[in-house]
Amino acid sequence: MDIVLNPYDRKTIEAADYMRRRVGGKLIALSMGPHPKIIPIMNDLFEAEVSGIDEAYILSDKRMAGSDTWATSYTLSKGIVKILSIHREAIEALAKAIEAGEGFDRIEALAADLYRKNLLPNRIYSDKPSVRETIVNMLLEGRISRENAVEILRDEASRIYRDFMMFCGMKTSDGETGNVGPQVAEALSQELGMEIPHVSFVLDFEYIGDRRVIIARRKLINMIQTVETDIPAVLTIHADYSAPPVPLAGRRDYLLNSYRGKNRDSRIFSADDIKADPRYIGLAGSPTVVGPGVDIGRPYARKIVGLSIIAARDIDKIAYGDKVFGPFRRGDLLDSLPEDLKRQMLSRGEAKVFDYDDLAEEIIKALQS
Amino acid sequence: MASQQAQPMYFLPPTSDLESYRDVWIFIEVLRGRVVSYCLEGIAAARKIASKVGMRVGALIASDYVDDQTAKMLIEHGADYVVALEHPLLADYEPFAYTNALEEVVRERKPWALIFMADELGRDLAPRLAYRLVTGLATDNIDFDVEDFYHGLLKEKFSNILAQIRPDFATRIAKIYTPRHRPQIASLRPGSFKPLPRDPSRRGEVIKHKPSLRGYSGRIRILGYEDIVDRGAELLEAKLIVSLGLGILRDAEGNPRNPLEAVELARRIIDLVRSKLGVSSAMGASRALIHADIKELRDIITHDIQVGQTGKTVSPRVYIAAGISGAIQHRVGILRAGNIVSINIDPRAPIHEIAHYVIIDDLYRALPKLYEALERKIGERLARVG
């Protein structure tokens, strides 16, 4: 089977990109599966500038094969924790260098290196001429002390685990379970030791920055429920979602919160890289097992308009050779009778070709029974 | 277990005291204070399972208060007993309070199987609960059975476990088993079972359970509700459905056609049957057509009228599929249709294989002919009657 981008994911990317354009940060694509097949899909996404995806991570390991949604969600949550920890460690490394009294040259070189790797936002370090008020600049210009800088960076580092959102597709186009959004939220809650909300079937949402909440309208049976959720949260995007225009206010914050740019080399993590418990991944980590498939055909008489031969009226038994056929009721399918007998019946007016009028009659009969 | 030690692999640890789990529960949804009616189908499904394993059916319901009439109604529709979770925070559906409450009662009372309806509520709640309970969730089932299952990886046979039957991703129907974990959680597609007739003589216990909701974080707040007009709701009730597929974009010669013409042709048949025969009729669509996102069809061919695995399972007396190839995902949505009429120019289209009536022709020719024949025959019939 070929691996393709899930059609529901287009809406998900649209929603996630809307969030990114509203608040800045970066949009990370996370996928799980054989990386040789996923990398080209990721590359296509990078090519499509509208997707807004800045970086991609792929969890790829033979041991992850055969995962059901439970094992998938566990694995994804470990992947998310790993990605978050990479970002936290980058900021920590910078804080440590400042704390240890490294020279400004070394500090700036380290910051530039981390920035090039897309691990520091513009508000900490930036090569963009329009951004001057970075933490590193303020330190280098003596406007804040080393202690101040370390304190700010430690706060930034801890915020990594609070300031993120996760967007999931409504369901995959193959398995169509839709389980992964809510299950990742639960798995992540356990990994991070905090309750991470999920909201599924989201039709639209807005981020309210001053209260750090998301207000989302979600489909719930025959109603739309509006909920407010704290972040971080996992949103599962409904196929009917469409992103509103991004308000112009807040462009400055957007820039400060954003990163250098796109990083087109997808990073691949194995089960060991993300410190996944081997008991919880792949087929062996899946509570469900898929049994053998079953065919769903059902036998019946099929009438083909313009081809099938049916009884034109009620017919008593018909002797043909040493066999007896019938009796038949008007409309009975005669396709299985010997060709010669059918011809005889047609010429005697006992049989006819099934036509639109016959079909209409049978439809009306079925509707009125 | 010796066989397990011989395995060089790691496995997800099984649920402890696996054998102590009993009974088949169905989660009864309440939305804005009212029981969601198709949950009665779930009671019928739970009955089928319970009768095969000699267990009882428990209807699990959560709200701020569960009144006697509701509990009585659930029992009269086939539940043996009702487990009523009552807490002010359960008045409206929200995943944290509900997951916490259900987790608590499941850990205490240990149901063997737990069935949810596969709608936006069940699909929101069941996954989170199943993850927390470390058990399997088989989604979107259309039927259930109880079977023995040989676990090839573990080389171990499991007797009398739930076979959760759902459309397969490839070509068939798959059975999903949760052999080593309890409860066996599954969701059931609305429309797959018929509710049992109400039997006023049935009696059963109502167990009230006040969950503690320990650790409830309140990180999701409900702000309000809006009604939505689900145009697809009438699909579930309709006796006649005319469904359109990607085939409407081109005629038999391959020339592009304005798909609104096909919509109009379908509507004429629907209106005719509705007005002249007084029979409920509705338009449906295949997923392929909806996903094609055709500009002209916006607001007409919408997700809520999608028939098939991702959309609705329908059970009309007559289902007319025009320009639909009949991918498995579509076919499983119409398995319960009384009569299927397939219209497709391609004689090898899979839809013809499951149809009772086959028209191998361009739908732009076939639909008008069918309309005329229906009009003529309805006229004759009305003339006879009147």
Q: In CATH, what number is assigned to the domain containing residue B166?
A: 3.40.50.620
Please check the confidence at residue B72 and state whether its pLDDT lies above 50: yes
Q: What is the DSSP letter of A250?
A: T
Does A232 lie in the same domain as A355? no
Closest listed residue to residue B12, CA positions, set B136, B193, B158: B136
Q: What is the DSSP letter of B20?
A: G
Does A195 lie in the same domain as A99? yes
Does B117 lie in the same domain as B46? yes
**Residue A41 maps to a domain:** yes
Question: What total number of domains does chain A contain?
Answer: 2
Q: What is the pLDDT of residue A8?
A: 63
A 10 A CB-CB count for B305 gives 24
Q: What is the pLDDT of residue A40?
A: 87
Q: Which two tokens stand for residue B46?
A: 């739970």
**Residue A348 maps to a domain:** yes
Please check the confidence at residue A105 and state whether its pLDDT lies above 60: yes
Which residues of chain B does A280 touch, with a Cβ-Cβ cutoff of 8 Å?
12
CA distances from B248 to A360, B260, B286 (A): 22, 9, 11
Which residues of chain B does A180 touch, with a Cβ-Cβ cutoff of 8 Å?
127
**Residue A194 maps to a domain:** yes
Does B61 lie in the same domain as B124? yes
Q: In CATH, what number is assigned to the domain containing residue A264?
A: 3.40.50.620
**Would you tell me which residues 258-317 of chain B have a C-beta closer than 8 angstroms to some C-beta of chain A?**
273, 277, 279, 291, 302-303, 309-310, 317
Q: In what order do the strands lie in the sheet with A234-237?
A: A166-169, A234-237, A198-208, A213-220, A223-230, B220-227
Torsional sign, CA B332, B165, A31, B217: positive
Q: In CATH, what number is assigned to the domain containing residue B304?
A: 3.40.50.1220
Q: Point out the residue among B99, B178, B378 whose CB comes nearest to the CB of A288.
A: B178
DSSP H helical ranges for chain B? 2-6, 39-53, 68-76, 95-109, 122-133, 233-237, 259-277, 287-291, 328-331, 351-354, 363-385
Of B35-39, B61-65, B250-254, which range is least confident? B250-254
Does A116 lie in the same domain as A162? yes
Could you report how far apart the first and last alpha carbons of chain B are, in Å? 77
CA distances from B93 to A86, B117, B166, B225 (A): 36, 14, 26, 11
Torsional sign, CA B197, B198, B199, B202: positive
Here the ipTM equals: 0.81
Q: Tokens 């489909």 label which residue? A: A219
Please check the confidence at residue B6 and state whether its pLDDT lies above 80: no
**Residue B143 maps to a domain:** yes
Does A262 lie in the same domain as A314? no
Contacts of B298 (CB under 8 A, 6+ apart): none
Does residue A69 contact residue A180 with C-beta atoms inside 8 Å?
yes
Considering only CA atoms, give the Rg of chain A.
Answer: 32
Does A160 lie in the same domain as A11? yes
Closest listed residue to residue A20, CA positions, set A156, A155, A166, A120: A166
In a mutagenesis test of the B interface, which of A289, A298, A300, A365 is the best target, namely the one with the most B β-carbons within 10 Å?
A289
**Residue A302 maps to a domain:** no
Does residue B310 contact residue B329 with C-beta atoms inside 8 Å?
yes
Domain end, chosen from A285, A300, A327, is at A285
Instruction: Kindly give the pairing relationship between strand B220-227 and strand A323-325.
Output: unpaired
Does A326 lie in the same domain as A269? no
Does residue B307 contact residue B334 with C-beta atoms inside 8 Å?
yes
Task: Report how far residue A257's alpha carbon sits from residue A25's, in angstroms, rounded to the nearest whole number.
Answer: 5
CA distances from A22 to A204, B37, B113 (A): 14, 41, 44
**Residue B336 maps to a domain:** yes
Please check the confidence at residue B121 and state whether its pLDDT lies above 90: yes
Q: What is the DSSP letter of A63?
A: G
Q: Point out the residue among A222, A361, A368 whose CB comes nearest to the CB of B233.
A: A222
Does A111 lie in the same domain as A232? yes
- Locate the chain A residue with the closest alpha carbon to B172: A295
Does B148 lie in the same domain as B281? no
Task: Report how far residue B296's alpha carbon sits from residue B258's, in angstroms, rounded to the nearest whole number.
Answer: 8
Residue type, A34: P
Summary mean pLDDT of chain B: 92
DSSP H helical ranges for A193-330? 251-257
CB contact under 8 A, A285 and B12: yes
Question: What total number of domains does chain B contain?
Answer: 2
Q: At what angle do helices B95-109 and B122-133 cross, to 10 degrees?
A: 50
Does B202 lie in the same domain as B288? no
Instruction: Kindly give the pairing relationship between strand A213-220 and strand B205-209.
Output: unpaired
Does B146 lie in the same domain as B263? no
Domain containing B296: what range? Answer: 233-385
Q: What is the pLDDT of residue B332?
A: 83
**Residue B103 maps to a domain:** yes
Q: What is the pLDDT of residues A5-53, one digit of tens each?
A: 555 677 888 999 999 998 999 999 999 988 888 888 888 888 776 678 9
Does A229 lie in the same domain as A358? no
Domain containing A212: what range? Answer: 7-285
Q: In CATH, what number is assigned to the domain containing residue A320?
A: 3.40.5
B348 to chain A, any CB pair closer than 8 A? The answer is: no
Domain end, chosen from A231, A251, A285, is at A285
Does A335 lie in the same domain as A204? no
B353 to chain A, any CB pair closer than 8 A? The answer is: yes
Q: What is the pLDDT of residue B173?
A: 79
**Residue A296 maps to a domain:** no
**Residue B175 maps to a domain:** yes
Domain end, chosen from A285, A300, A330, is at A285
Of A207-216, A273-282, A316-325, B358-367, which range is least confident? A316-325
Does B340 lie in the same domain as B195? no
Does residue B314 contact residue B337 with C-beta atoms inside 8 Å?
yes
Distance in Å, alpha carbon of A240 to nearest chain B alpha carbon: 7
CB contact under 8 A, A222 and B353: no
Which residues of chain B does A168 touch, with a Cβ-Cβ cutoff of 8 Å?
none
Its pTM stands at 0.78
Does residue B308 contact residue B287 with C-beta atoms inside 8 Å?
yes
Domain end, chosen from B209, B224, B244, is at B209
Contacts of B108 (CB under 8 A, 6+ apart): B209
Distance in Å, alpha carbon of B81 to nearest chain A alpha carbon: 26
CB contact under 8 A, B134 and A70: yes
